[in-house]
Amino acid sequence: MQIDPSSTPVPEVYQYVVGVVTPRPIAWVTTLSPSGVVNLAPFSFFNAFGANPPVVVFSPTLRRDGTKKDTLLNLERLGEFVVHASVASLAEKVNLTSKEVPPSESEVSLAGLTTVPSVKVKPPRIAESPVALECLVKQIVPCGTGPIAANLVIGEVVMMHVADAVLDGKGGVDPRKLETVARLGGAFWCRTSDLFEQQRP
């Protein structure tokens, strides 16, 4: 099978992309609205792209009607956010926060979660997540227009919070203790519990 994105309906292109680029880590992002409402949403177009300085990139795509999501609007106004680890024990809550709610309502309350103040940015952290990365927006790069168009948010990590419970005792993070989840195609998710090791040559 061959797929030409220029002649294929956008929803079909989207389904193929998310079906073959797997697993995709999930950025669970808090932002703050001008009226002080905490927005919390998951994004599976996400990854880390450097360490000097530490940089993360995620994409709040446009909605299927072509409008901007609350996360993107908040980032354009404030330019600060916090990325949390999406872990297996919180997977249902991560999924629940993908629900579309009015901008005046917070997904934090919807999911029964709690917040704690951040150190260097205004959006708070989710207390239940073992990892939080406080970030400043370096750049937002729109990639296309219309439904599901990407908006690459490039953020510099200015503070990291890592729970002692997920450390390996040697100064690193133990993936067996963190146990993040990731998105596959359709409604499929996976856990990072099936691990194997290979040493770099």
Strand ranges, E, within 61-180:
80-85, 115-116, 125-126, 131-143, 150-162
The answer to whether the beta carbons of residues 106 and 40 sit under 8 Å apart is: yes
pLDDT value of position 171: 87
Q: What pLDDT score does 96 carry?
A: 98
Would you say how long the chain is, in residues? 201
Q: Give pLDDT tens digits for 99-122.
A: 999 999 999 999 999 999 999 999
Over residues 8-44, the pLDDT tens digits come to 999 999 999 999 999 999 999 999 999 999 999 999 9
pLDDT tens for each residue of 60-88: 999 989 999 999 999 999 999 999 999 99
Which 3 state secondary structure label does DSSP give 8? Answer: coil
Structural domains for the chain: 5-190 (2.30.110.10)
CA distance 174 to 144: 38
The residues, ordered by sequence, that sit 6+ positions from 134 with a Cβ below 8 Å of its Cβ are 80, 82, 118, 119, 120, 121, 125, 157, 158, 159, 160, 161
Provide the pLDDT for residue 90. Answer: 98
Alpha-helical segments (H) within 104-174: 107-110
Structural element, H or E, at residue 34 = none
134-192: pLDDT as tens digits = 999 999 999 999 999 999 999 999 999 999 999 999 989 999 999 999 999 999 999 99
pTM greater than 0.85: yes
Max intra-chain CA distance, the chain: 53
